[in-house]
Structure 1
């Protein structure tokens, strides 16, 4: 299969993207549309415009493709966590953080929607998903603490922990809910906005007059 390498270099020169990156992009698209269980390596290769033998030069198995896509998902999470906004009491900081997290889940939604089936072939994903959850919960809790200190939410420590858990559940598994409960597998951008609205509603009982004034001002400018 070594003869695949020169071919990939030629394609890279023509298309400005490496064959490996194109395979990853195509696999992500097909996994999102159909689910990994319904996609074969032959279909991925065909959609990428190469033969299946060339695909195996880069990825020996479909599982290897899933793991590389998960690596990219983790990189997106790392980028989000490096944002300095989590140290701000500005309510816009939380809104931006939440939207960016939803955008990441949206882009890699098959990882959550098809998580149980993925575990059958890549059981190490369970540990990695848990690690991401732990890393994300900390900055979200910090943001909530800043909002409380700034007088934007009135909430006890016990209520804050419960709110954090509910925010995490909804913001992470809204894709699963829509698939299982509502039968929506082909998600659209409108569903992303729906998910953000569900999380935002969790804060309603705790918003102070100051926070409501900010929300009214935001609504007036949109």
Structure 2
């Protein structure tokens, strides 16, 4: 009996395949953020993930499949962040910590912009698919989470406040990237923190 036929021998292969897919997905999210969809090749992602380029097609048939995987990575990252924030008892502290995380990422924003926002804008320019809607859905989930925090604080119009907060983030990320100036995010983030602290529950 060869090793490949021994009972249980398939498990290492399954784990290895899952690990390759995980590496490809992680690197797709990173490289697409840094280079954009049009300038990224499957070879770029394979090289970064240390996977032979021919093997990429076993996991992802097209670049769009990799873009979807990258969007799933963004969604999972959002879940991780919000789960950690939920450990804070106070919804206002959750929102403050979120804004502070944005400020901490200002150097990355200066170089590449917001990961999901820039991807959504680029995909919107394409006329051959629905990936822009999938990118928008990730931003929509962030809006919903932020609105729940404002609602938990008893604020009037939590959805409107969430829109103000997230659109401010997207705007400062865009300007930070366009002007290559991380201090824009630092200054505007401080304004957002002061604005958040000034809000009072209704009635």
TM, length-normalised to structure 2: 0.64
* Alignment partners' CA distance in 1, 2:159 and 2:142: 14
1:124 to 1:78, Cα distance in 2 relative to 1, 3 A: farther
Question: Offset at 1:70?
Answer: 0.7
Say whether the 8 Å CA contact 1:22–1:48 is kept in structure 2: yes
Q: Does the alignment pair 1:141 with 2:134?
A: no
* Alignment partners' CA distance in 2, 1:103 and 1:124: 32
CA shift digits 1:78-117 (9 cap, x unpaired): 3455568499546323323444677899799333124332
* Alignment partners' CA distance in 1, 2:102 and 2:161: 17
Q: Which residue of 2 aligns with 1:44?
A: 45
CA shift digits 1:42-69 (9 cap, x unpaired): 2222333343211111111111111011
Q: Which residue of 2 aligns with 1:109?
A: 114
Q: Which blocks of at least 5 consecutive residues in structure 2 are unaligned?
A: 1-9
Q: Which blocks of at least 5 consecutive residues in structure 1 are unaligned?
A: 1-5, 150-156, 209-222
CA shift digits 1:121-155 (9 cap, x unpaired): 77423333444444433442343344467xxxxxx
* Alignment partners' CA distance in 1, 2:87 and 2:146: 7
1:101 to 1:39, Cα distance in 2 relative to 1, 3 A: same
With CA pairs under 8 Å and 6+ residues apart, which has the higher RCO, 1 or 2?
A: 2
TM, length-normalised to structure 1: 0.60
Say whether the 8 Å CA contact 1:88–1:143 is kept in structure 2: no
Root mean square deviation of aligned Cα: 4.3
Q: Which residue of 2 aligns with 1:126?
A: 132
Aligned 1:160-179 pairs, distance under 5 A: 163-179=161-177
CA shift digits 1:145-177 (9 cap, x unpaired): 44467xxxxxxx47x665433212022443223
1:12 to 1:108, Cα distance in 2 relative to 1, 3 A: farther
Aligned 1:42-81 pairs, distance under 5 A: 42-81=43-82
Say whether the 8 Å CA contact 2:71–2:134 is kept in structure 1: no
1:79 to 1:199, Cα distance in 2 relative to 1, 3 A: same
1:99 to 1:24, Cα distance in 2 relative to 1, 3 A: same
Count the aligned residue pairs: 185
1:62 to 1:163, Cα distance in 2 relative to 1, 3 A: same
Q: Structure 1 residues 57-66 or 163-172, which shifts more?
A: 163-172
